[in-house]
Structure 1
């Protein structure tokens, strides 16, 4: 939300007053009793988790709650998911392929410099030191808002060898994409609200208007990598 927005100028002072009143006023007796009871519940859960190694508490995906479950269930669900999609590999040989990934990225950067696609300074900025690199790895968050509490796959790759190169490409391509598709692209929740307000103001919302949402399962493997690269190449040729 822009600080130059008139509604933002009105909303922030109002929010500040609400927060100040909330933290400065004494709690009513019924709320104080409830808070004390809930604190005791939290302490009980903490004590239980300390003494039960077979139980784990996990963050959940897209919600502000925690999910408590059996460690064996988490392990089994993760293995079933990995077996189902065949997109990840469990390292069992004891050899970490990090050095192979690192060398592949270094070779690519050297090739781009040789072809004058990158300057030497850019190459240095896009190259992590091997000692600061780590292999991208899979973990999951429980989707407590969905039936059966499925797993939401997360790839932790903040320090992977190709991460800086990926960010560099995103910085180059995102402005081009937004220039072409800005009218049909939502950046955040506020942007959705603004677009919807414009849609209503233009008289497009009728009594028969329907809002449809879609949820893609296993997005990582649903889009063929080669097909995505070819589509990106065509897009760049047409709009870059």
Structure 2
């Protein structure tokens, strides 16, 4: 609760004595208590256990038969496909485009260190301000390399795969978002 109160004071300049903070705190506490402290009914416990067993059964079958379960494009529908078929289709796509290679080593931390070094260099030369540095600085806890994944298109013949490059947590993402915001404003 203290974290939320401090956030409201710092970011939204709401005084500590404001009634809205007290009302919000009481409402949040009541909601959390109602959601997590009231025991579940027998029916809900039974349903939860049954769904858990069903989920474990599906996981076991998928692993045993070497199938892959994927969510399809934006529809929220799941598609089950043979893992060997996925491998063939992804390899064919990489061969056809020639744009992607599988890396032998992980360059994440060298890229991460270079980004930090360059941002600190820009700051020391006073090309950027400290708040700008803070916006662009990557976070070690969430940093990842960009990766290629595929989403099935079950509505098309042969269930082709749509390639997607996910780079949301790259060390350069903060720089990209910051510059994009400047360009668009």
TM-score (norm 2): 0.59
Matched residues in 2 for 1:50 and 1:76: separation? 18
Contact 1:49 1:56 in 2 (8 A): no
Name the residue aligned to 2:8.
Answer: none
Contact 1:61 1:144 in 2 (8 A): no
Using a 3 Å threshold, how does the CA distance of structure 1 residues 100 and 73 change in structure 2: closer, same or farther?
A: same
Aligned pair partner of 1:145 in 155, 165, 171? 155
Matched residues in 2 for 1:51 and 1:89: separation? 27
Aligned pair partner of 2:67 in 55, 60, 75? 55
How many angstroms does 1:156 deviate by? 2.5
Using the TM superposition, name which of 96-105 and 111-120 deviates more.
Answer: 111-120
Matched residues in 1 for 2:59 and 2:124: separation? 60
How many angstroms does 1:131 deviate by? 4.2
Unmatched segments (≥5 aa) in structure 1? 1-38, 176-240
Unmatched segments (≥5 aa) in structure 2? 1-50
Matched residues in 1 for 2:174 and 2:142: separation? 12
Name the residue aligned to 1:168.
Answer: 178
Q: Does 1:125 align with 2:143?
A: no
Matched residues in 2 for 1:47 and 1:132: separation? 27
| Alpha-carbon displacement from aligned partner over 1:83-103 (angstroms, at most 9, x marks no partner) | 2222222123xx210122113
Alignment root-mean-square deviation, CA: 2.8
Name the residue aligned to 2:80.
Answer: 68
Using a 3 Å threshold, how does the CA distance of structure 1 residues 86 and 112 change in structure 2: closer, same or farther?
A: farther
Contact 1:142 1:151 in 2 (8 A): yes
Using a 3 Å threshold, how does the CA distance of structure 1 residues 51 and 103 change in structure 2: closer, same or farther?
A: closer
| Alpha-carbon displacement from aligned partner over 1:89-119 (angstroms, at most 9, x marks no partner) | 2123xx2101221133224323433554421
Matched residues in 2 for 1:97 and 1:125: separation? 23
Using a 3 Å threshold, how does the CA distance of structure 1 residues 108 and 147 change in structure 2: closer, same or farther?
A: farther
Contact 2:73 2:151 in 1 (8 A): yes
Matched residues in 1 for 2:139 and 2:152: separation? 33
What is the aligned length? 132
Matched residues in 2 for 1:173 and 1:87: separation? 28
